[in-house]
Structure 1
Amino acid sequence: MTVAMKTISVGIDKSDINDLPNIYAYMGYMFCSVTCLFGPWISFKDYISIRHVANQDKWWILYIIQYALLSFLFLSISNCWAQWIINDTSWKWLLAYKDALSFRMSHYFISYIASSLLLLGGFPFALSTIVKPLQIELPHSLVHVVICWNVPMHFWLKTCTIKYLGKFGAVTMTYLTSALLHGLNFQLAAVLLSLGFYTYIEFQLRSLLANIFDACIASKKCIKAKCTHTYNTDNSWWVFLTNVMFSGLSIFHLAYLGLMFDTSELQETGYSYIHTIEKWSQLGFASHWVVFATYCIYFLMR
């Protein structure tokens, strides 16, 4: 997946200026030992820059230790603490949240290991941020979750695949591309495309509500110093409550979608479409019904 992203980014970046890299620089970029194992994607420009610029500051070894400790903390939560705190006899929605939480924590583990390797490889600290766990676990919106899940991949999708598409086309292409890069199967496609529609509908509805009420309740947070809304969390309790409600709704959707990535024996051979349908049917397809209702509200209001 990382090699495919690198190839596409080089092709797009160099197509306009007709300045393709030489074979040695290209192969070094493709098979960079720092990013081959766990990723993430880095641009060719950033890769070349480490040959000519000293990017490390004096605290780089402390950052590596911090990332390594955090990665193993997330690993322990994924494999031990989550299973211990929420046992198998709990309410079905708690079990769904547990499976989704374990999956997210394993993703944080891999991401922080990758960040450590980036710093060891001489890349600057500014490029080492791959995931933002706090903003995923306590999300302002699903849009923020998508951005914070894999920051380099979000940047790659934004700059390399959706330059000339409208909002809906951009969202659809983003998740189709992501599904293809992850290895297209029914489970991944169902989760990613569902997430794509979720984020699009949420973005449209919250933008509409923000305009109607002149309130800071859109999917993307305003920078406090630049917020132009009349009502915000500092002067209106209902704005704060509305954002909290949407955050709770995002956590609900994440539990539903993350349920697919459980720890059953099927994960070794790959999940079939039957497994996906059965998992969601156990929860009554509740999240999809909520999104459908959300879209109906948006359709009637616009």
Structure 2
Amino acid sequence: MDYQYFEEESDYIDLDEEDDDEETAVDLDYRFGKSDEEEDYYLGGELEGDVDGHGILGLAERLLESLQTCVEPSLVQVLQYVAPMLLLCLLCRLLCLLYSQRKRLTSLTPLHLLHFACGLILLQFSVGYRLLLLLLLAAVGYILLQLLRLGRRGAHILAVLTIGSQFLYELLLWRRRSDWPQLRGIQMVVNMKLISLGYDLTTSGQLQARIPGPFAYLGYIYSPATCALGPWVSFGSYMDCLVPRNSWLVSLRRLVPNALLCVLAVTVSNCVAAALSDFFSDSSHFLVMYWDALSVRTSHYFVGFMAQALLVASDQRLDGAGIESDLLGPLVSRPWLIEWPRSISALVRSWNIPMHEWLKRYIYAPFKVNSSRSRTVLAVFCTYFVSCLLHGMDLRIYLVLISLSIFAEGESLLRRQLAIFLDACISANVCPGKERCRYGNCPSKRRWSSVSYWLVRITNLAFTALAIYHLAYLGVVLLGESLESGDETESFLWHWQQEGYLSHYIGVATFVLYLFIS
């Protein structure tokens, strides 16, 4: 999913506050899970015992059977995937630390080479021989960086050619389409780094710094902390973290919970969600959609926690403010705000925080040159459009992002209008608290025994339930490998047809209701 960017008037009294409440759009990044050829562990063959598929006892027995046949293979799979990456990041950090402890640090080139070498080994482990193709595309990217000598116009050309090359490669050059999704995710992060580097170096129409040398460029693009799973970091953030600063004890304290959450996420994705979806297949279509979509979401959470673990191991920080946790370190996503969202826009903001920062900085802000409503809406949809392009040729993601842009924008406009009309704290943004909330009917200003307190709570709870429904409805799209399959019941369109396209009707209705009351 992608970020919903919207910024009209602030819901705070302090209108000079930095736009932390911009509603943005999110990126459906990489997915971790079993390939089509691998065994569906959660099924475990035929379930033994007399399980009628109904009732609490039947559910408990099925979950137990699923865990027994699924958890161990999943843990082995995670260990084989995670351990080499973490070891390479720790090794890179150790070597950089040893080199930086010299009395005089005369050159950063060895540090760049260490990052580049460790990143190559990590990618060789991840993608094999296809690493040669990624090196070729990185070389093309460095040639394109020379366009920055043309100034801001060169940065625009670089952005167009960078995104266009990804389409050209996928459409004309790469025949084995089954291999491309993994490469596309890696190349998407490279493209984001190139574009951000181009715009950062041409700020205010002038080249503010030298184009990085080839070693600095390769170290940035193939840093082991971000080259395989992402996330995006700016060149400035990479340079600031070349020499590790956090203690090993702090990193270990943050690494352990990230590793445990990786295991939990992949267990839920491979085992629990699949078993629950199978259990409810004959009783509730919504619950089937919800558990299938949960499998997709927890796959994304696994990648997010894994990316956080790599960042912690490398002592790499992210761009932007407020995206670091004392417990987990740099945050790539916030699952707790996705599973129980206040609004759709809050949900999508939390899906991929670094990409949100990238889109806000390089797409949304340049398009939103003033605070007019038309310009804001244009900036929102341009942001979603660029996010679609970054994902390459994947119609499923296009449908999800376009739908999200409609749902999130409609809900944000409607709730803002209702909040003003009713003087109630029911806007899409989280209530800023008693001292800063601008609305009279705010739960933080009322006693729990007052009627307005409960009316506001119930209204916000209803919007949360609606966001969860949209989340299940759209998330089921990404479960399969294609739009259509041989069996029509395996197509996501079948799920939407079963729901009567209700989510889309609700999304359009929010716009109509907003126009009516405004």
* Superposed pair shares fold, TM > 0.5: yes
Deviation at 1:282, TM superposition (A): 2.2
User: Which whole-Å deviations, capped at 9, do the CAs of 1:81-120 have from their partners, x for residues lacking one?
Assistant: 1122342323111111111111101100110001000111
SS in structure 2 of the partner of residue 58 of structure 1: helix
Which residue, 339, 352, 359 being the options, matches 1:150? Answer: 352
Partner of residue 15, structure 1:
202
Which residue, 257, 260, 265 being the options, matches 1:74? Answer: 265
Structure 2 matches for 1:90-109, cutoff 5 A?
A: 90-109=283-302
- Distance in 2 (CA, whole Å) between partners of 1:154 and 1:167 is 16
Structure 2 matches for 1:38-49, cutoff 5 A?
A: 38-49=229-240
Q: Say if 1:232 and 1:240, in contact at 8 Å, map to a contact too.
A: no
Partner of residue 254, structure 1:
471
Q: Say if 1:99 and 1:261, in contact at 8 Å, map to a contact too.
A: no
Which residue, 209, 212, 221 being the options, matches 2:421? Answer: 212
Q: Say if 2:338 and 2:347, in contact at 8 Å, map to a contact too.
A: yes
SS in structure 2 of the partner of residue 242 of structure 1: helix
User: Which aligned segments of 4 or more residues in structure 1 are displaced greater than 4 angstroms?
Assistant: none
Supply the AA of the counterpart residue of 2:460.
N
| Identity across matched positions, percent | 35
Q: 1:56 to 1:3 in 2, by over 3 A?
A: farther
- Distance in 1 (CA, whole Å) between partners of 2:457 and 2:258 is 32
Q: Say if 1:130 and 1:150, in contact at 8 Å, map to a contact too.
A: yes
Residues matched between the structures, number: 297
Q: 1:290 to 1:144 in 2, by over 3 A?
A: same
SS in structure 2 of the partner of residue 34 of structure 1: coil
Q: Say if 2:406 and 2:508, in contact at 8 Å, map to a contact too.
A: no
Deviation at 1:52, TM superposition (A): 4.4
Q: Say if 2:410 and 2:508, in contact at 8 Å, map to a contact too.
A: no
Please say which of residues 125-134 and 189-198 is displaced more in the overlay.
125-134
Q: Does 1:295 align with 2:511?
A: yes
Q: Say if 1:55 and 1:124, in contact at 8 Å, map to a contact too.
A: no
Q: Does 1:242 align with 2:452?
A: no
Please say which of residues 82-91 and 176-185 is displaced more in the overlay.
82-91
Partner of residue 437, structure 2:
227
User: Which whole-Å deviations, capped at 9, do the CAs of 1:135-193 have from their partners, x for residues lacking one?
Assistant: 10000000111110001000110001111232211221222112111223221111111
User: Which whole-Å deviations, capped at 9, do the CAs of 1:190-240 have from their partners, x for residues lacking one?
Assistant: 111100111111110111111111211111113214212111123221111
Deviation at 1:58, TM superposition (A): 3.5
Deviation at 1:252, TM superposition (A): 0.7
Supply the AA of the counterpart residue of 1:140.
R
- Distance in 2 (CA, whole Å) between partners of 1:147 and 1:56 is 31
Deviation at 1:53, TM superposition (A): 5.8
Partner of residue 161, structure 1:
363
- Distance in 1 (CA, whole Å) between partners of 2:418 and 2:428 is 10
TM (norm. structure 1) is 0.93
Q: Say if 2:345 and 2:412, in contact at 8 Å, map to a contact too.
A: yes
SS in structure 2 of the partner of residue 221 of structure 1: coil
Deviation at 1:22, TM superposition (A): 2.4
User: Which one has more relative contact order, counting CA pairs under 8 Å at least 6 apart?
Assistant: 2
Partner of residue 271, structure 1:
483
Q: CA RMSD in A?
A: 1.8
Partner of residue 132, structure 1:
334
Supply the AA of the counterpart residue of 2:339.
E
Supply the AA of the counterpart residue of 1:200.
E
- Distance in 1 (CA, whole Å) between partners of 2:190 and 2:291 is 32
TM (norm. structure 2) is 0.55
SS in structure 1 of the partner of residue 350 of structure 2: helix
Q: Does 1:141 align with 2:338?
A: no
Supply the AA of the counterpart residue of 1:134.
W
Partner of residue 153, structure 2:
none
User: Which whole-Å deviations, capped at 9, do the CAs of 1:229-269 have from their partners, x for residues lacking one?
Assistant: 1111232211111110100000011111011122x4xx2xx
Which residue, 205, 211, 228 being the options, matches 1:37? Answer: 228
Partner of residue 282, structure 2:
89
Which residue, 268, 277, 285 being the options, matches 2:501? Answer: 285
Any unmatched runs of 5+ in structure 1?
none
Q: Say if 1:115 and 1:128, in contact at 8 Å, map to a contact too.
A: yes
- Distance in 1 (CA, whole Å) between partners of 2:244 and 2:296 is 37
Q: Say if 1:74 and 1:106, in contact at 8 Å, map to a contact too.
A: yes
Supply the AA of the counterpart residue of 1:82.
A
Which residue, 189, 194, 199 being the options, matches 2:408? Answer: 199
User: Which whole-Å deviations, capped at 9, do the CAs of 1:52-72 have from their partners, x for residues lacking one?
Assistant: 461457321021111010011
Any unmatched runs of 5+ in structure 2?
1-187, 319-323, 369-374, 447-452
User: Which whole-Å deviations, capped at 9, do the CAs of 1:2-52 have from their partners, x for residues lacking one?
Assistant: 001111111111112412322221221111121111111111111000124
- Distance in 1 (CA, whole Å) between partners of 2:466 and 2:344 is 9
- Distance in 2 (CA, whole Å) between partners of 1:260 and 1:92 is 14
Q: 1:75 to 1:53 in 2, by over 3 A?
A: closer
Structure 2 matches for 1:165-204, cutoff 5 A?
A: 165=368, 166-204=375-413
- Distance in 2 (CA, whole Å) between partners of 1:201 and 1:24 is 47
Q: 1:43 to 1:56 in 2, by over 3 A?
A: farther
Supply the AA of the counterpart residue of 2:224.
S
